[in-house]
Structure 1
Amino acid sequence: MKKLGLLFLVATVFACTTPQTEVPTQSLNEVLACANLAGLQAKYGKENVVADTSWVIGTDTLQGSIIFPNSAKQVYVYYRAGEIVDVTIQGKSSAWKTDSGLYLGLPLQDVQQLNAKNFTLSGFNWAHGGEVVSWEGGKLAGIHLATFSNAGNQHEGLSDAEYTQISGQTEFDVRHEAIQKLNPSLDMISLIKPFIPNQEEGKSISKRISANQIPLAK
């Protein structure tokens, strides 16, 4: 499932959390492996699962659950035809990490090392700022979505002019001098199960992608 900026609707939940100082120990991959709501409830307890939640994004309504709501273990879970297709954490810190080594607060340069390749980001300072556009075939390609420190457009260590260089509705190689100087940290991580959409889903995805395309320069 490709989603862009989906969790800006709920980003305030972690707004006042403490920055990550230790590597978390809970595996986010295990949440994805639960397969469905029954699996979540069996593994984490019914009392820790908000079972039926929905988010309206444009013309789409996404069904999901939240496990361990309003805590450091909070995870957003999304379904397709009743099966888990996406698990997401967002904020400054979390009790979860991916088996690949990603966790909230991890700096960009460390993510480069985990990916074992450079990758491409969207420009900062807009609704979809700081999102990984492509892992460029690195080790994180396939099931990882991620965003780097776009909340509040903080750019400590960069002048406004430098930040402007890496802002806006365009794409940047992470080797850009200003991005390396900023070295932003992860504030959203998703693990996804790729799927082949049916005809109606394909049309919906196509419309959503078209609506989010960066306009060509005149």
Structure 2
Amino acid sequence: MRGVRAFIITALCLGALPARAQAPTVLDCTGPFAKQANLAAAEKAFGAENVRRGEIYVGEGATETGTLVFADDPKRRIEILWHDTDRQRRPALIRVGDGSEWRVASPGGQTIAIGAPLAEVEKLNGKPFTLSGFSWDYGGYVTDWKKGKLTSPPSGCHFGIRFEPDPKASEKAQNSASGDTEFSSASTAMRAVRPFVSQITLGWAE
């Protein structure tokens, strides 16, 4: 199970809030997600009533216990896994996914949102990158930024993106961009399925 978490971290990585919650407008590896942050920091930023313990899916049918922020609101939901799970401190992975309205700081100094098209991310990186084929548990993760602008992590933390193919793409096109293999973002197979960002992760190494 730790191997599953390591893969996700490496392949990196709004609505009104209560007045007392000083929530960020863009997620990055500072404040409640700094390297030494803990549960109390998340509760202070987002409101204790909006933060709870829960199970987080990590792939291959497995889950790990972590912290959920706005658990029942897809637009604001944030998932956190900790290096110290019992004490809920030192974030290993911070993740937002489908439906999220959060923007996430990128190493290139820009922000990226869920739903961003492949071409936009490639432009921010300044060059093509490599991602895994679709239709398996680790499908769509960026595996190598090829020394582009998105290589250097913000604040020293990990940064990762996962893509999904456009569901309107033909079955033949999706099959051509699927499987346990790597593709260039500039490849004909990838372009044909019009991928978009479906998950963004930040996180810290142990």
- Band of TM-score, shorter chain: 0.7 to 0.9
Aligned with residue 107 of structure 1, among 95, 103, 117: 117
Distance in 1, matches of 2:63 and 2:197, equals 26
CA pair 56-176 structure 1, distance change in 2 beyond 3 A: closer
Looking at secondary structure, tell me which structure has more helix per residue.
1
Q: What secondary structure does 1:39 align onto?
A: helix
Q: Give yes or no for the alignment of 1:128 onto 2:138.
A: yes
Partner of 2:193: 182
**Matched length:** 170
Question: What SS class does the counterpart of residue 174 from structure 2 fall into?
Answer: helix
Query: What amino acid does structure 1 have at the position aligned with 2:162?
Result: T
Higher relative contact order (CA 8 A, sep 6+): 2
1:21-64 CA-partner distances (Å, limit 9, x unpaired): xxxx92111542381101001111111101x2244767987331
**Alpha-carbon distance between aligned partners in 2 of 1:104 and 1:49, rounded to the nearest angstrom:** 22
Give distance in 1, aligned partners of 2:91 and 2:172. Answer: 43
Following superposition, the deviation at residue 166 of structure 1 comes to 1.4
CA RMSD of aligned residues (A): 2.6
Q: Secondary structure at the match of 2:114?
A: coil
1:63-122 deviation line (CA, Å, top 9, x unaligned)? 31011121111100110122112110011x322111221110000100001112211111
Stretches of structure 2 lacking an aligned partner (at least 5 in a row): 10-23
Give the % identical residues. Answer: 28
2:148 to 138, 150, 154: 138
The structure that is strand-richer by fraction is 2
TM-score if structure 2 supplies the norm length?
0.72
Please give the alpha-carbon distance, in whole angstroms, between the structure 2 residues aligned to 1:60 and 1:125. Answer: 17
Provide TM-score, normalisation by structure 1: 0.69
Taking the aligned partners of 2:61 and 2:122, their CA distance within structure 1 comes to 35
CA contact (8 A) 2:173 2:192 kept: no
What is the CA–CA distance in structure 1 between the aligned matches of 2:163 and 2:62, rounded to whole Å? 25
2:177 aligned to which of 162, 166, 181: 166
Alignment correspondent of 2:96: 89
**Cα drift, residue 189 of structure 1:** 0.7
Kindly tell me: are residues 160 and 55 of structure 1, through their superposed partners in 2, closer, same or farther at Cα, counting changes over 3 Å? Answer: closer
> Contact between 1:79 and 1:86, CA under 8 Å: does it hold in 2?
yes
Distance 1:61 1:164, change over 3 A: closer
8 Å CA contact retained: 1:62, 1:79:
no
Contact between 2:173 and 2:193, CA under 8 Å: does it hold in 1?
A: no
- In the aligned structure 2, how far is the partner of 1:159 from the partner of 1:170? 20
Given the alignment of the two structures, is residue 77 of structure 1 paired with residue 80 of structure 2, yes or no?
yes
Unpaired segments of 5 or more residues in structure 1? 6-24, 196-218
Q: Which residue of 2 aligns with 1:117?
A: 127
